[in-house]
Amino acid sequence: MMPKSVEKYQVSLRHVGPTTAVLGGLVAALLTAPSASATSSELQSSIDDVLAAQQQAAVAAGALPYVTAADRALLPNYVQNVAYSELQLLLAGRDSANPYLLRIADMLNAAGSEPRTRPLQINPDNVYGYTVLDPDGTYVITGRVGEGTDLNISLQAGLSTANSLPATVANLNINQLQVNADGTYTVTISATPHEGNWLPLTNGANSVIVRDSLSDWSATPGRVTIARTDVPSTPRVIPPALTPDETKSILDTIAASVQQDSGTGQQLVGQVFYLPANTTTPIRESPGAVTGLTAQASVWGNFELEPGQALILTVPTIQADYTGAELTDVFTQTLPWQSHQISLSNAQVIPDADGYTRYVISPTDPGVPNWLDSSGYGQGSIVLRWQNYPGALPTGTPTTQVVNVDDVRDYLPADTGVVTAAERAEQLALRSAEVGYMLSASKNSTWVTLNLAIDDLKSQMGTSSFNQVFGTQQVPSLVSRLGPVNIAAVLDQAMLILRDPLQSAAGLVKVLPATINEVALPTVLAVSRAVKVIGRAVDEATSAARSGEPLGVVKAVEHGISGLATVAVQAVSDPATSITAGLLNARDDISFGLTYAQRAAGTKPHANPSAPPSPGSARERVSAASTRQNVTAETGTGAQRRPGTAHGAPRRTPAKTSSGADR
């Protein structure tokens, strides 16, 4: 049976145009599949309200003039992702005395799965951490600089479920951060000044976001936590159980804000689709007023391609600590970035000798470096970013050419390299492994906290209803992840261990923390789930005993036994949260560590052999700066700490070209 609020909304479609009505009917059908009932009629009403609001948001987005029929097929998933982003924000702000940093990509992402996409042009090269702040509070961020290329900690004003585009009002960059000799640092966030690293909690700031930028995806991200210090706090992994009233409040908030939140996303990217097809904006500093990082320059553009076409985007090569290019769909969602090459950083891209970098955007592989895979999307947005660039930005707008995919090489420099199908397959396999490690290495106890909160929501809403509202991730089965053993790869790694035990040990040490985490966190989750089950059973039995209801005591014991059985099954067989899955994740981390060691030892070529050397990591620059400061103190010279230098000149791969072709 269709929820009443959805039925009411469908009736209202009779008063709009036929195209919008058809779209609304399609979205309604996709969003109102049969669902499990919630634990109360009041909660079911709130679920219905969210579904109706999502349909309204989908119809509004689908009616935009640049949206095609193919784009509209993305709308059900898009509005679920908007709601899911709002849900995580509400969960993070639930206990203001005990904040935690949410990760993008989703902390609950299951290994072996494509990371769940997010709206608002999320950068695949960044490990993000964000949370809401009380403007009257005092917070301390504690971190350790990782192997990334850049690090920024920003305060933003105006973040809410209805506004996912807060303005950046303060920022600390790695080159401004005071870092200890061991790579650790602390940052105080408060309204009043503090010694050392300090961000002013003024000008309406109500959230913080940390961006750990990784040009090289094999780099280990840093660690960062946040604590509130002006009120009594007890950091805890197991949050208090969500009550039905809290769940209803969460759903009501999302229902009231999802349409406006979706609209802000279209404000961000929609402007680029009013540009002529296959063009971009000029290179310019990113405006902090639209949530972008203030310490960067950017270009926005769009692509609109027919099958068999490619877009060649030519951009001046800007020396910067970090550069990145990515593609999104028309609703600002990053394209599938683990399995497809939809983004390239300055550790992955190959600039040309003439001072320009040329990207090739196409749905099929053109067999050249710097390919951005449009992944079957006919149109979408383009985002280019530069962080920590010295000197003035070049003026002008990047140039674009639409050509046939088969003719791409005719429009590129004569020495453009060749990427064979086998090399591309190796690139993509390495990309997938690197993303898996990056997500594993940035996982922390928040994974347990969020899983427990999601358990409560699913218990009260019904799993099917939860999935209708917030979407789900396609998680591979444990059996499929076991798969056949790659004997050749195992032998390669065994030979490396025998040939170079020190290098192998270094690779294993690199991944050891992530490997331990992958087993420890599901174990903690299983124990936490069991503790919650036992606690509920004890409460039920105590209440029944006090009421003189012996059958109630028996029923409470039965509930407890049944709940513990469910926890045991989850701990063994759940493909996303089980200890078994954790062991498989740890296996993958170990394999990645040995592959990393092979590449470092030179026994396994890099999947992109023509790529330039990776830019120095933020940790290396901090260490070098510390050394320079020590020299300055001893010699009295006026040396200043400077941003790290950009990568060196690339090695080029000679290639045959079509004779006589115009370029």
pLDDT in tens, 465-491: 999 999 999 899 999 998 776 677 777
Note the pLDDT of residue 292.
61
Residue indicated by tokens 């035990």: 501
- Residue 470: its H or E element: helix 463-470
Q: What string of DSSP letters covers 152-170?
A: EEEEEE--BTTB--PEEEE
- 488 with 359, same domain: the answer is no
- 366 with 513, same domain: the answer is no
Q: What is the pLDDT of residues 505-530, one digit of tens each?
A: 999 999 999 999 999 999 999 999 99
Nearest residue to 127 (alpha-carbon basis) of 101, 99, 162 = 101
Q: What is the pLDDT of residues 336-350, one digit of tens each?
A: 999 999 999 999 999
Query: Over 80: is that where the pLDDT of 659 sits?
Result: no
DSSP E strands in 38-124: the ranges are 102-104
Last residue of a domain, one of 376, 396, 419: 419
Query: Over 80: is that where the pLDDT of 638 sits?
Result: no
Q: What is the pLDDT of residues 66-110, one digit of tens each?
A: 999 999 999 999 999 999 999 999 999 999 999 999 999 899 999
Of 404-413, 453-462, 651-660, which gets the smallest average pLDDT? Answer: 651-660
> How sure is the predictor about 207, in pLDDT bands with cuts at 50, 70 and 90?
very high
- 389 with 462, same domain: the answer is no
**Percent helix / strand / coil, the chain, rounded to 5:** 45, 15, 40
The total of structural domains in the chain comes to 2
Q: What is the pLDDT of residues 565-606, one digit of tens each?
A: 999 999 999 999 999 999 999 999 999 999 898 888 775 544
- 279 with 376, same domain: the answer is yes
> How sure is the predictor about 442, in pLDDT bands with cuts at 50, 70 and 90?
very high
- 593 with 477, same domain: the answer is yes
Cross-strand bridge partners of residue 184: 144
* Residue scoring higher pLDDT (330 or 656): 330
* Residue scoring higher pLDDT (489 or 216): 216
Query: Over 80: is that where the pLDDT of 612 sits?
Result: no
Query: Over 90: is that where the pLDDT of 414 sits?
Result: yes
Sign for the CA dihedral angle at 28, 34, 35, 37 comes to: positive
Domain that holds residue 408: 272-419
- 283 with 403, same domain: the answer is yes
Task: Give the whole-number percent of the chain exceeding pLDDT 70.
Answer: 83
Cβ distance 398 to 314 under 8 Å? Answer: yes
- 545 with 501, same domain: the answer is yes
Query: Over 90: is that where the pLDDT of 244 sits?
Result: yes
Report which residue type is found at 99. P
> How sure is the predictor about 37, in pLDDT bands with cuts at 50, 70 and 90?
low
Note the pLDDT of residue 491.
78
Classify residue 537: in a domain, yes or no.
Answer: yes
Query: Over 50: is that where the pLDDT of 156 sits?
Result: yes
Query: Over 80: is that where the pLDDT of 634 sits?
Result: no
> How sure is the predictor about 497, in pLDDT bands with cuts at 50, 70 and 90?
confident
- 522 with 397, same domain: the answer is no
Note the pLDDT of residue 621.
58
Query: Over 70: is that where the pLDDT of 658 sits?
Result: no
Query: Over 50: is that where the pLDDT of 20 sits?
Result: no
Last residue of a domain, one of 397, 419, 441: 419
- 430 with 413, same domain: the answer is no
Last residue of a domain, one of 553, 580, 601: 601
Phi and psi, residue 211, nearest 5°: -120, 110
Query: Over 60: is that where the pLDDT of 23 sits?
Result: no
Query: Over 60: is that where the pLDDT of 31 sits?
Result: no
Q: What is the pLDDT of residues 530-558, one digit of tens each?
A: 999 999 999 999 999 999 999 999 999 99
Q: For the chain, what is the mean pLDDT?
A: 86
Instruction: Determine the average pLDDT of the residues in 142-156.
Output: 96
- 436 with 476, same domain: the answer is yes
Query: Measured between alpha carbons, how far is 235 from 241 in angstroms, rounded to an integer?
Result: 15
Task: Give the whole-number percent of the chain exceeding pLDDT 90.
Answer: 71
**Bond before 205 cis per omega within 30 degrees:** no
Classify residue 448: in a domain, yes or no.
Answer: yes
- 352 with 445, same domain: the answer is no
> How sure is the predictor about 288, in pLDDT bands with cuts at 50, 70 and 90?
low
Classify residue 643: in a domain, yes or no.
Answer: no
β-bridge pairing 184-190 and 198-200: parallel
Classify residue 622: in a domain, yes or no.
Answer: no
Note the pLDDT of residue 264.
81
Of 1-5, 224-228, 401-405, 613-617, which gets the smallest average pLDDT? Answer: 1-5
Query: Over 70: is that where the pLDDT of 410 sits?
Result: yes
Query: Measured between alpha carbons, how far is 21 from 19 in angstroms, rounded to an integer?
Result: 5
> How sure is the predictor about 622, in pLDDT bands with cuts at 50, 70 and 90?
low
- 279 with 415, same domain: the answer is yes
Classify residue 397: in a domain, yes or no.
Answer: yes
The pTM (predicted TM-score) of the whole model is 0.86
